[in-house]
Amino acid sequence: MFKTVKMSDVEQLTSLFQYVMHIGDHLAEYGTLAYFILSAVIFSETAFVIFPFLPGDTLIFAAGAFCASGQLNFVILNIVLIASATIGNTINFWIGKYLVDRIDIKKAKWIDQKALEKTHAFFEKHGGKTIILARFVPLVRSFAPFVAGVSHMNHQKFQIYNIIGAVLWSGILSVCGYFFGNLPVIRDNLNAIVLIGASAAIIPTVIAGLFKLVQSMKTDQT
C-alpha cells in the first residue's frame, strides 16, 4: 500500500539540494547560461514563500566575484538580478493579495481582524523601509512582499520601494563580491559571514518588535 523510498532517491535529492545551495561555486561552468541560472534562483526565492532557503545573498556575492575575474559582465549581471528580484517580489505581492481576496478575509472568523488591521496600518506606515530592509535578511525577504499583499499595502508605494530594494540589494552585494569575493578569507567563510550579517540585522528587529508587543499588551490590560 505504501511506497518505500529508496535510499538512492534520498541521496539524489540531498545531492541536488547541496548542489543548489552551493551553485555559486559552479557559475563559471555555465558561461552565458549563468545569467539564466542566477535569474531563476533570485526570482524563485523572492516570488514564492516556499523557497526561502535559496542562497540569494551568497549567489549575488559570488557572481560579483566572477565579474571581477572577467567571467561575467557586471552591468548585465545587475540588470538581470534587479529585474528578477523586482518581478519576483511583485508576483509574491499579488499572490498574497489574490489569496486574501479569494477567501474574503474580512469575513473569515478564524482570522483576527484586529491583527489584520494592525498589519495593514503597519505596512502603510512602515512598509517602504520594511520592503527595502527585508531584501537583506534571508527568509524574511521571501515573506515580506507576501505579507504586504495580504495586508493590501498600496501597490504603487510597494513598487517604488520594491525597485529601490532590488537595486540596493543587487548593487551592494555584487560590488562587495567584485572587490572582496576573491579574497581567500572571505571566499572560504562566506556562509558564516552572511549568517553573522543576517543575525545582526534580525536580532535588533526581533527585540524591538517584542518590546513593542509587550508594551501594547500592557496598554491593553490597563
Find which of 31-40, 63-72, 115-124, 160-169 is predicted with most confidence, using mean pLDDT.
Answer: 160-169
State the Cα–Cα distance between residues 77 and 64, nearest whole angstrom. 8
What does each C-alpha distance from 134 to 117, 138, 222 come to in angstroms? 21, 8, 34
pLDDT in the model for residue 93: 95
Q: Which three cell numbers stand for residue 180?
A: 572582496
- Where is average pLDDT lowest: 17-26, 32-41, 45-54, 172-181? 17-26
Task: Decide: helix, strand or coil at residue 108.
Answer: coil
Phi-psi region of 112 (alpha: psi -120 to 50; beta: other; left: phi over 0): beta
* Top-confidence residue, 61 or 104: 61
**Is residue 140 pLDDT above 80, yes or no?**
yes
Q: Flag whether the pTM goes above 0.85.
A: no
pLDDT in the model for residue 25: 63
**Is residue 68 pLDDT above 60, yes or no?**
yes
**Is residue 88 pLDDT above 90, yes or no?**
yes
- Where is average pLDDT lowest: 46-50, 107-111, 118-122, 181-185? 107-111
Nearest to 197 by CA among 182, 180, 210: 180
CA neighbours closer than 13 Å in the CB half-sphere of residue 120: 14
Read off the DSSP letter of residue 3. P
Q: How many CB atoms lie within 10 A of CB 194?
A: 18
Answer whether 187's CB lies under 8 Å from 154's CB: no
* Top-confidence residue, 19 or 31: 31
State the Cα–Cα distance between residues 10 and 106, nearest whole angstrom. 43
Answer whether 136's CB lies under 8 Å from 201's CB: yes
39: CB partners within 8 A, 6+ apart: 80, 81, 83, 84
pLDDT confidence band for 210 (50 / 70 / 90): low
**Is residue 126 pLDDT above 60, yes or no?**
yes
pLDDT digit string (tens) for 192-207?
Answer: 666 666 566 555 665 6
pLDDT confidence band for 75 (50 / 70 / 90): very high
The pLDDT > 70 percentage for the chain reads 61
* Top-confidence residue, 189 or 142: 142
95: CB partners within 8 A, 6+ apart: 47, 48, 146, 149
pLDDT in the model for residue 62: 86
pLDDT in the model for residue 85: 96
State the Cα–Cα distance between residues 60 and 42, nearest whole angstrom. 9
**Is residue 188 pLDDT above 50, yes or no?**
yes
Task: Decide: helix, strand or coil at residue 55.
Answer: coil
pLDDT digit string (tens) for 6-25?
Answer: 546 556 545 544 555 556 56
